[in-house]
Every structure is written in C-alpha cells, then in structure tokens.
Amino acid sequence: MATATGSSAGDETTRWKYLDHIRRTPGPFTDPDAVAEENLAQFDKFKVLVIGAGGLGCEILKNLAMSRFKDIHVIDMDTIDISNLNRQFLFRQSDVGSYKAEVAARFVERRVAGVRITAHNAAIQDFDEAFYRQFQLVICGLDSIEARRWINAMLVSIAEDAEDDPDGIKPLIDGGTEGFKGQARVIFPSMTSCIECQLDMHAPRAAVPLCTIASIPRQPEHCIEWAHVIAWDQEKPFPTLDKDDPTHVTWLYQKALARAQEYGIPGVTYSLTQGTIKNIIPAIASTNAIIAAACCNEAFKIASNSATCLGFENNYMMYSGNDSIYTYTFKHEKKDDCPVCGRQARPLEVDPASTLGDLIDSFAVRPEAQLKKPSIRAEGKTLYMQVPPSLEEQTRPNLKKTIAELGLENGQQVVVTDPAFPLEFNFFLRFKEKASA
C-alpha cells in the first residue's frame, strides 16, 4: 500500500483506477441508476460500522478502506494481547495492552489516504438506538453469539420503528470463522431471515460425559479433559490452575499425552491442550482473509448497487477449506415464530412434572433459546425474576415447584427475558405426553 504521506492527485487517480472502472462500467446485474453521478457521489457519504477489531475485524477495516469507504466507525472493548499478533496483522508488539479499535483505526488511516476511522473502545451495549441510526451499514466480525444476537435485535427494532422509512433498514453483514470453516451472510432487518431465526445453527456444544472422560476416552480432547478435570484435582501439582502459565499447561499436556498413548489415541499436542482447557476457537489467518473479503464484497455491492447482493434470495454463504476449497450459498428462511423478527410465539416443550428450576436451567442449552439469566412470567403471574434481588428472593421458592403446581396449563403463553438482550421472548407451553406403558 502507498502511504498517506505525500500522496498526490495523480497517485490517488492511479490508486482508484480499477475500482472506479468497476463503479462506472455497468454490468448485466447493475442497477441502471448506479452509474449516475449523484449516486456515485453518495458512495463517499456512506457511513459504515464495523463491530469487532480482532482477526476478522482487522481484515474488514483494511478491505473497506481499500474499497474507498471513507467514513468508518469501529467498536471493540478488548485490548491487544501478545497471542493476537500471529493473525491480527494491524498490531505490533509495542501495541500490547492498547485498545484494539484505537490501534487498528490509526494504522489503517496512516496507510490509506482519505479514510476517516472513528474508534469506540466500548461494548456495543453501551450505545443507544440513536447511535446505530446514523449508519447505513453494519458489519460484524465477532466471535460472540450473544453480541450478534444483541446487535441483530437492535437493528430489527430500528427497522420496525421506522415503518415505511427505507433509511431505517440498516443491512447487517455477519462474518464468522472457526478453523478452516467460515460463513458470510447478509440480513435486511425485519425483511429477511435474521440471526435469531438461525440461532439453532449455533447450538451450544454438548459437554462430554464425565464417565467418558474417566473410563473410555475416544478423542484427544477426552484425554486433555481427563488431565484437566481429574488428574489435576487428584495430584494438585500447583495450588491453583493458571491456564496462561506455560508450566501448568505443560503439566496437563504431558498427563494427557501419557493417557492418550495408553489408549492408542493420536493427536494430543501442546496447542490443542491449551485450546481445549481455555475453550479457544481456532483462528486461521487465511480463513479470516477469505471471509472478510466476502463480507466487504457484499458491502461494496450494497453501497454501490454495482451487482445484486446476498440477502433476499440466497443470503448465506458457507466456506470450507478443510479439504481443498468448497463454498455453498443458500437461502435461510425467515421464521414466523422468531422472537425478534417474527410475530408468533414459539412452542416450549416441558414436562408438567418437572420443576420451574429445571425449566430455567434448560434455557441455557436449548438451541432455540440459549439464555443464561432468564426470568419468566405468565399472564398475571410472575414466576421467577433474576433481578432486582428483592424480587429474586420473593420468587425463589417457585423454583422448587413443578409446572403443574404453579397452575400453568398446556398452551399457556409465557414471556421470558434476559438482561443480555433488549427484547422479550414469547413462548407457549407444550406439555410432553406421557409414554404409554
């Protein structure tokens, strides 16, 4: 890249030569109005929000700047750790401890003339609806399902409040990677399938039963968990486990390796041990680059109308690089019972003989819910509230009562809330039938 310092008008013309050719030369899928001068000028005023400045976010910021987006904001609450440097290429060792958003913004501004990047060192929940209304497009490079769900609900709320105002629709481009796999999707809030519609694709990983770990390991991760959960507790090699201490990780690795050799299981490595005990999702720089490119390609198509974007027909692109390169694009359907963009309550299967406490606990692992601190109420009846403390104490006895004892009926509607999400989840109870003798 040429540096911003000392760039001339000639340099700028050369830099954007091919991009301007794409924008000014209509193709078979180009909106006829896209090449009009007033629409070409609108591109320069396009304001984009990038959420996340990690592995994906760094690539997205660079790609947007090199695609001639001039007004970009980036949100990230994290600081740079030394482990980030192998794949988050905007950071240097001297940046360790600094805010990711701030460092990434300044780096790209230095390298690309004319771009202005505003950094926000905060959580997305720290901003209100008015903040998000100022953007024409939002791109997520997140590793958190909760954060995705929150911004999805916010943008759907903005779109529904805007009613017939087309400026109220803030397209959401979401990218995600895990190892050699990744996905990119485009969501038009309130109009197309949203992240909540697709939540069951991100179901929590099932925990490995302790009996498997203790007696019949089949995978290298089972051996690592045995060292982590059982061997450590039995031998107590150090007072407390520090998962960032190489000495502690090495002890677990050696224990796991010995157990794996005993059962003839290959694949236990130091890096896998560290990743398993810290629940690290593997990140590969090449996968980040491919998915970020796909996201920014969609952003360019939306902003310039140079080609049809994902979103209305095929809206979900999945990529796999495990064995050669494979991509597949399909349409993820909008669900009528989606708690965010739908209008119908969704069924909640329960056993009337189970307790309310069992139901509350189940929300964390239900693929369609995934709620960590749920409160629940029925019509005219507060069943259990997590906050405030006084109400939690008052409703706590209900946790030991069965669904039947609480007077809840088959088909009855209940409302569930969680402080992590700015919306209510509407369900109707569907009692499980008793198995016949």
The residue from 58, 140, 211, 341 that is catalytic is 211
Q: What pLDDT is stored for residue 204 in this prediction?
A: 64
Q: Are 121 and 74 in contact, with CB atoms under 8 Å apart?
A: no
**pTM (two decimals):** 0.81
Separation CA 273–CA 366 (nearest Å): 28
Identify the segments of the chain with pLDDT beneath 50.
1-6, 436-437
140 is catalytic: no
Q: What pLDDT is stored for residue 39 in this prediction?
A: 78
Q: What pLDDT is stored for residue 437 in this prediction?
A: 45
Q: What pLDDT is stored for residue 378 in this prediction?
A: 93
